[in-house]
Structure 1
């Protein structure tokens, strides 16, 4: 079979499978942006000030022009000029407000923003600012720092759309925009969507046949599975910057997988989110900590560590503390605290002193900046012995029966290390001494809290903390919908995106706390909503109004993650090894990549030694992760590099992705195995094609699709019969051995399976 033939087939199948994606209602709308009747400072005014004005009138005092600050209420209403007789903002009096004069004037010497800034205001934005002043110029704290309020809207439901309170928020916003929600998706699509969203794996044919009329039971089954725990852990590994190597230069191997086993165990047993986080931040500081609590603290040691000779150890030790600080800020506060390492934050109310006060919580680990001697285990670490696993740590899967497993964990010095503000963030430029503290803009650190990581974790889950629950539920929403209610899940600050449904975000945050931080209960609440269960078909009449589907009038279409694409091939073909936990494994990878990137050292990471047997077919969560050379096929599909905390992956479409799907030995081998499975279970090629198609896409092919695939099968069979050598080469891909007499039949059906694996529908959810 020629490569061009496969491409042509894919184009034909994509055309036939996508015909129903756009539903035309025969109407078009010209969406006009109307000035809101009531202007809200946070949602209408502040984004304009932040984007257009903060450069010269923001938190950076060194760049402040004209004595005017527009990031604080005091600064915005201060008297200006030599005579102190002018005001940028006069509440209720736009004609007396210098800001209004400056944004409407045509004088190039007076207009704001100034021409040289290359910034401009639209007529809509000018009108927003003017009307806000007319309405009294009410100022508010940043929305994320205000306590959440549970205001569930009252909304009429003529379409019987509402299943739970989530739907009330969505329907209310849709009605404001004269949009109707979509009908429920067809059962096969819903079951596939639920299976991938909750477990990262495709549904079985038995699932499709059993649960089409009982989605509630299916959700419960998925949430109770090991696969659910592994799916959620895959997300947490990005956030925790998990890796099997130290990073930097030789990139030596480290043992962190027992912590990964703990994360899987925690998700399987539904450890409440507050405990889940508290144990990772400060399990060692809890009263009479168990070994499990101490294992959890390895979360803080997932950062890179250098073994490079000639470095300044203190410089790197400071980097490790900075990494823990940044991870805390990104993962749990949704704030870019790292921007305040060298100077006061230019956009958010976080000073450099705030940064190093937060840094102080993580600064007392008795660690070295350089691994010494070369290859040593960085202290502090815990020796996990077989008896520990038997008595306390049964969740650790020591399949290699190691006598002692060294795991880096957290520990604090008896006498806390002194912390100073570091001028320009430089390790050798200490200035003012600071003590453990939190940004007051979020919540003041209580006097009754211990000034250590345990106190920090208690502050994080203080009932008055406005941001912890919001950040957590937004990330769960992102896992399920592909986009958070706040699309910048890594930034809830002034430069981050505003929530698309702020009242819904507050509702979920309050409900999550009322559920005692039960993640499974929250996820079931979300996926049980009519909002989640909508069809993904795009209505042409609203495509112009809401092209990005921010209003959620339909289910979003999203591509599977890098792990899911590989795991789907393993699961649908029956190759998947479902053993849970244990050391990382080395599946198929292009030869020589590690050797090219290693500069003479590296020891066990100098050369990639591929595993064999069942280890080749472990879930992708267990793939060995070398920081300097991450798994190439996963990186092609936008996996995180794990160099630092990532809470949202990029999403790209590149030609390399098609090349991976067409040539990856794991996909090719899976195509061969699922074809053998289909031929063994069916009496004819047509039934075999249907079996493969449904196993991969979760639905049966249409008549047109089936005819196209059968024609492709015949062409491929003829090609292989005329070129036996190429046929045998194709069938030899992958370690899994198959004995099948009619090899041209197996090879031809395998090319059909490979084509189906390559469909957009196969690597996407709709």
Structure 2
């Protein structure tokens, strides 16, 4: 038979056979290098995505009474098929799971067609190999006690233990480290990471090539001791603690929680150990003979939204506030999605609805109210209140920046007496008026049993949280710090260390850092210095073709990341480099420039925040940390640059790239004013325009210009100078931007031309990127 005589059906069959063989070969090749299949790293993610919704922890949604999230459930006899088992160790033919995942019968195949979930060939092959190797279950990695692993072998590249773990992963993935970054890059990078501010030209000159008397270690020590350190790290904690300056909901009037922000800055600058930092915030009021400072720290729990609308149901909102406290603690401190169990057992993690309300019970005995009445009177703090007077401000609370003589009031925590304590109930479907079974305060057993002998209150919860055996607290915080420095945590899903969260890219490194952190007194500054001292951190950010081919997301850290600065730090960089920054530590929030009408469009028209009243003078030039945050109208410029809107706990920010960001940098009054002020100052300081441009470049980009850049900027300056000299009427409108005073001598063509050069420098990608 000739080729032409072969029938089409035969060709189709041959093609199907060939494609099937190719598919099998491809699926086998995808397991190259996986000798031993791991439940935690290979199988659990598949089961969690495709199976746990119907065969996981949630008993109410469980099908066929089969659990695949536990070893006992998976190996038990199937109730609907006597004599059969979902899994049989080492035996594919006796394992019903295997038959179901390879079945093409819609009535038998798993996942079922109506779920719209499909297993890939690679996933099927992994499950097959796992069963053949014994189908061994492992406890979830994040719920196991933190143990310090052995260090990988030493090498010539590594500067500390971090590098040995990182290099091992690089080599496993066919990568090698980048060269060391240039000195000016390291100085800028470290300054931005530790203080959120660009290095001054004086700092750049003093440390030069980072050799001799002024070493890299000296640089780090100086930055860590700078008061700006606390402000930089406080931005992260304000997101976690959902700090805002208004109450939210419809009326959204002013609140006075800013002394808590001052405390956070103070705690970070004083290098308060993290276990103490957490204990004071959870239960400072329950410590023996608590100080006002310890009570102030508990404002952490009270930063949630409040309603001031008449006619609301008090208990409904009181429950909302307790739910928020519970969810903020579980996400921000423990890194788990406990809120998923408010209405039913968690679908993916081993948390029951009962365990959720047992944790809820720790926060359920404060005298806080859902609604305080008298809608016509809005107060800056809600019961319970901490009052701070002049005596406090000159004593233990001297870190609070307050210039007035009136008392301060802050919403803090308090505890009901024994005779007033509430009974906590499981709320049916999470509804406030549907109490069912009473529960006592406790913690999820899958994380760590609540130790006997601890009092079941918030202080006991704090002790449980910081217990050496708690598997989450140190891992979660170390991961947050890593995320702050490298842009992505070792666990990418920083707020979800559960079954649906991302697996750690460097599990041994995370365990080593978490254990080392606890062993060394939960020392935050030591942890940061450790990371910044590593060879991993000090690499160049240059990207090669090999990087893009093998590790485009830089998971294995064979280069330093290129990260756009946060919204607050972009503002800080512009103000600091221009000389406008008013470096006052702490104090009330400020209202900077903002587009007209944005605030009023979302306002209820009542209270002191009905209209936007911009601040003046030095208040306009504070750091981004201090910008006033109204929950219903968060600062638009900050939101454009991906800041948190602060209506709930957030442990990470996205990094988008949009045209609006370019429009902000080109047109924002703050950027234009900063450019004008820097231009005027440089014109007065330098007679030579080229020297003025060189200094502007160094202040903004933190390095010297190369010859090509110098030629380009000088040419642009000359073009702009000719424009303004030919159009004198454009000088005044160009320069009169912002409130910072300008003299008549400064209103000239040279200043206007240099201003345009500086605006262009602020709009360079390199300016607002940490490299």
TM (norm. structure 1) is 0.94
For residues 536-615 of structure 1, what are the structure 2 equivalents within 5 Å? 536-601=541-606, 603-615=607-619
What is residue 25 of structure 2 aligned with on the other side? none
Q: Secondary structure at the match of 1:250?
A: coil
Q: Distance in 2 between matches of 1:385 and 1:742?
A: 47
Asked if the contact 1:149/1:503 (under 8 Å) is kept, the reply is: no
Q: Does 1:410 align with 2:408?
A: no
Asked if the contact 1:500/1:551 (under 8 Å) is kept, the reply is: yes
Asked if the contact 2:57/2:352 (under 8 Å) is kept, the reply is: no
Q: Distance in 1 between matches of 2:522 and 2:542?
A: 34
Q: Does 1:524 align with 2:529?
A: yes
Instruction: Indicate which of 423, 427, 432 corresponds to 1:427.
Output: 432
Q: Distance in 2 between matches of 1:741 and 1:546?
A: 51
Residue 32 of structure 1, CA deviation: 6.1
Asked if the contact 1:153/1:172 (under 8 Å) is kept, the reply is: no
What is residue 382 of structure 2 aligned with on the other side? 378
How many residues align structurally?
Answer: 732
Structure 2's unaligned 5+ residue stretches are 1-28
What is residue 231 of structure 1 aligned with on the other side? 232
Q: Distance in 1 between matches of 2:283 and 2:746?
A: 60
What is residue 440 of structure 1 aligned with on the other side? 445
Instruction: Indicate which of 91, 97, 104 corresponds to 2:89.
Output: 91
What is residue 320 of structure 2 aligned with on the other side? 319
For residues 279-298 of structure 1, what are the structure 2 equivalents within 5 Å? 279-298=280-299
What is residue 715 of structure 1 aligned with on the other side? 719
Q: Secondary structure at the match of 2:444?
A: coil
Q: Secondary structure at the match of 1:432?
A: strand
What is residue 16 of structure 2 aligned with on the other side? none
What is residue 104 of structure 2 aligned with on the other side? 106
Q: Secondary structure at the match of 2:550?
A: coil
Q: Secondary structure at the match of 1:652?
A: coil
**1:485-522 per-position Cα deviation (integer Å, ceiling 9, x unaligned):** 00100100111111000110000100000110000001
Residue 533 of structure 1, CA deviation: 0.8
What is residue 16 of structure 1 aligned with on the other side? none
Residue 83 of structure 1, CA deviation: 5.0
CA RMSD for the aligned pairs?
Answer: 1.4
Asked if the contact 1:347/1:495 (under 8 Å) is kept, the reply is: yes
Residue 753 of structure 1, CA deviation: 0.4
Residue 197 of structure 1, CA deviation: 0.7
Q: Does 1:207 align with 2:203?
A: yes
Instruction: Indicate which of 26, 30, 47 corresponds to 2:45.
Output: 47
Q: Secondary structure at the match of 2:426?
A: strand
What is residue 624 of structure 1 aligned with on the other side? 628
Q: Which piece of structure 1 moves more, 133-142 or 429-438?
A: 133-142
Distance 1:83-1:582 versus aligned 2 partners, 3 A rule: closer
Q: Distance in 2 between matches of 1:65 and 1:48?
A: 18
**1:77-129 per-position Cα deviation (integer Å, ceiling 9, x unaligned):** 11125452111211112232122222223334332222332222222212211
Asked if the contact 2:442/2:450 (under 8 Å) is kept, the reply is: yes
Q: Distance in 2 between matches of 1:712 and 1:587?
A: 31
Structure 1's unaligned 5+ residue stretches are 1-30
Residue 53 of structure 1, CA deviation: 1.3
Q: Secondary structure at the match of 2:349?
A: coil
Q: Distance in 2 between matches of 1:571 and 1:83?
A: 71
What is residue 4 of structure 2 aligned with on the other side? none
User: Which structure's CA Rg is the greater one?
Assistant: 2
For residues 151-230 of structure 1, what are the structure 2 equivalents within 5 Å? 151-155=149-153, 157=155, 160-211=156-207, 212-213=209-210, 214-230=215-231
TM (norm. structure 2) is 0.93
The list of structure 1 runs, each at least 4 consecutive aligned residues, that deviate by more than 4 angstroms after superposition, is none
Q: Which has the higher contact order (CA 8 A, sep 6+)?
A: 1
Q: Distance in 2 between matches of 1:372 and 1:130?
A: 63
Q: Distance in 2 between matches of 1:552 and 1:249?
A: 46
Q: Does 1:140 align with 2:145?
A: no
Q: Distance in 2 between matches of 1:32 and 1:133?
A: 18
Q: Distance in 2 between matches of 1:206 and 1:336?
A: 47
Asked if the contact 1:348/1:493 (under 8 Å) is kept, the reply is: yes
